[in-house]
Amino acid sequence: MRDADNAYAALPYSCRMSLGEFDLIAKYFTRSVKRAALGVGDDCALFATSPGMQLAVSSDMLVEGRHFLSTVAPERLGHKALAVNLSDLAACGARPVAFTLALAMPGVDERFLEGFARGLLALADEHDCELIGGDTTRGPLNLCITVFGELPAGQALLRSGARAGDELYVSGTLGDARAALEVFRGGLSLDGAAFETLRLAMEQPQPRVALGQALRGIATSAIDVSDGLLGDLGHVLRRSQVGATLEVDALPRSAVLGTLSAALQREFTLAGGDDYELVFSAPPGLAAEVHAAASSAGVNVTRIGRLDAEPGLRLVDAHGAALANRFGSFDHFKP
């Protein structure tokens, strides 16, 4: 966008970005592209999809104070901004190809930009996902990434594919990011090493990209857990028109989370959020394939329940006794 098109054009030049928008893009966000036909520098980026493949597209925005705390290291923020987007591709079973970055920041802070770009591009390289364009403007710190992936046409894992009788699984562990947030909020105190482990889960989640792709043809539905297990699973149940019985004590948790009270463990695993694990369903006859997919991806998966024809979500403990569901999930516009 031309500067004259936005409100900041009225600012005296001295108040505007010192390094300059285009120098900044050139210095931190321009890299040669291998896969794309054209990357940063023109009006559009260009890339072709392989024959027989579908494009999977997703956007996620990170707003300071809402999605991250100002205390986060820039490198971790760069990682997380892309990780939450790659997690959506993972949930569909897509392979990452490219992404764009729309960035608003209050000014040019090169220490921030250097760390941010380092974290962002390291994760991009890990997943062979190229930065091909974006937009840069002055404003409250706000990061929006759009990610492009590809997958064989018709093979995407959808929220709508779950069937009664399927087993329900989750990758990794749940609740750590929520526990870290509670420490930041002052509601919980932990020793330094324990806190650092949780904080890493919150600030530097690992998107389950390999697992998502390995589950194509095995899982009947999938979603990534960003707003809490109960809420995200609820989306699958509604879209698939099935119910579920969830074994609350079977929910996988880290050693650190296991040191908290039973009540907090339940709350954080069920309704925490920011986990970026995959919840997915698969027919009972494919349990061996599920575990083979998980080990090929180097990720643990745990069976956590099953899908039922009866609508609604039922929580049970280790003995099969019903538990009350008093948990909500995160909604940006709920009062």
Site string for Mg ion, 108-137 (x = CB under 5 A): ---------------------------x--
- The number of residues that bind Mg ion (CB under 5 A) is 2
Calpha distance 38→44 (Å, rounded): 8
Which residues are CB-neighbours of 265 under 8 A, at least 6 positions away?
175, 253, 257, 258
Whether the Cβ atoms of residue 274 and residue 226 lie closer than 8 Å to each other: yes
Binding mask 75-104 for ligand ADP (x = CB under 6 A): --------------------------x-x-
Per the CB < 8 A criterion, the answer to whether 41 and 126 are in contact is: no
Instruction: Identify what 5 binds: ligand ADP, Mg ion, none; CB under 5 to 8 Å per kind.
Output: none
Cβ atoms of 226 and 62 within 8 Å: the answer is: no
Residue in 85, 136, 213, 329 binding ligand ADP, rule: CB under 6 A: 136
Minimum CB separation from ligand ADP for residue 94, in Å?
21
Question: What residue 252 binds from ligand ADP, Mg ion, none (CB within 5 to 8 A, per partner kind)?
Answer: none
Q: Output 42 or 191, the one with its CB closest to ligand ADP.
A: 42
1 lines the binding site for ligand ADP (CB under 6 A): yes
Is 29 a binder of ligand ADP (CB under 6 A)? yes
Asked if 88 contacts 216 with a C-beta cutoff of 8 angstroms, the reply is no
Q: Which residues contact 221 (CB under 8 A, 6 or more apart)?
A: 157, 158, 159, 160, 161, 162, 166, 236, 239, 240, 280, 281
Distance from the first to the final alpha carbon of the chain? 35
In the bound state, the residue with its beta carbon closest to Mg ion is 135
Q: From the list 134, 149, 172, 212, which residue makes contact with ligand ADP (rule: CB under 6 A)? A: 134
Q: Which residues bind ligand ADP (CB under 6 A)?
A: 1, 25, 29, 40-43, 101, 103, 131, 133-136
Q: Which residues bind Mg ion (CB under 5 A)?
A: 1, 135
